[in-house]
Amino acid sequence: MAKELERAGFPTATVTSLAAVAVKVGANRVVRGDRFSHPCGRPGLPRAEERAWRVELVRTALRALATRVEGPTVFELRS
């Protein structure tokens, strides 16, 4: 989906557990999420910490959207 949205002109931050695949397929702004069944979650953490992690994940997506890229690029959460 990412490439079609990008083709339509929308800067798109793709959050996925399979960042390497997203890069190979050609999505340009890729954010590495957590596991396949909860890419925007970390169930092992206490609620409040998980929520804070998720906010950081979305901040990473914002950073990706605001960054000029030349091709598929992976953005990691800053720990």
Partner 1 sequence: MRIVHYLNQFFAGIGGEEHADMPPGSRPGAVGPGLALQKLLGGNGEIVGTVFCGDGLIGDRPDVVVPDIVTLIDAFAPDVVVAGPAFGAGRYGLGCARVCAAVGARLRIAALAAMAPDNVAVELHRREIVIVPTTATAVGMPGALAAMARLALRLGRGESLGPAAIDGYVPRGRRMNTWAQASASARAVALLQARLRGEPFSTEVPLPRYDRVTPPPPVADPARMRLALVTECGLVPAGNPDHLEWVRASKWLRYGLDGVDDLARGDYEVAHGGYDAAFAVEDPDRLVPVDAVRELARSGEIGEVLDAYYVTCGNHGVLGQMATHAREIAADLRRQHVDAVLLVAT
Partner 2 sequence: MHLEVAAFPVHQARLGAPAAYDAGALTIDPDIVRRLVLDDPRIADVQLELAHPGESVRVLRALDAIEPLHKPGAAVSAFPGFLGPPRTAGHGLTHRLAGFTVVQVTDFPFPASGVQAFEEGVIEMSGPGAAYSGCADRVNVFLVLTPGRAVSNVDYDDAVRRAALRVADHLAALTIGHVPEHVETFDHGGEHAGRHRVVWVHQVRAQGPMVQSFLYGEQISGMLPTVLDPNELLDGALVGANYKTGSKTPTYVHTRHPSLLALSARHGRELHVAGVIVARGHHENEFLKERSAHFVAKLATVQRADGALCTYEATGNTHIDFMLTVQALERAGIPAASVVHEYGGPLGDDPPLVDFVPEAITLASTGGIDRRLSLPAVDRVIGGARLAHRGEPAHGPLDLPIQELFAATATMNERGALAVDY
Any contact of residue 77 with partner 2 (CB under 8 A)? no
Q: How far is the C-alpha of 67 from the C-alpha of 45, rounded, in Å?
A: 30
- Residue 20 binds partner 2, judged by CB under 8 A: yes
Q: Which of partner 2, partner 1, none sits in contact with 12, Cβ below 5 to 8 A by type?
A: partner 1
Closest separation between CB of residue 59 and partner 1, Å? 7
Dist. CA 14–CA 6, nearest whole Å:
11
Match 């929308």 to its residue by tokens.
Answer: 10
| Helix H or strand E segment including 67 | none
Map the footprint of partner 1 across residues 7-46, applying CB under 8 A.
7-16, 18, 22, 24-29, 33, 36-41, 43
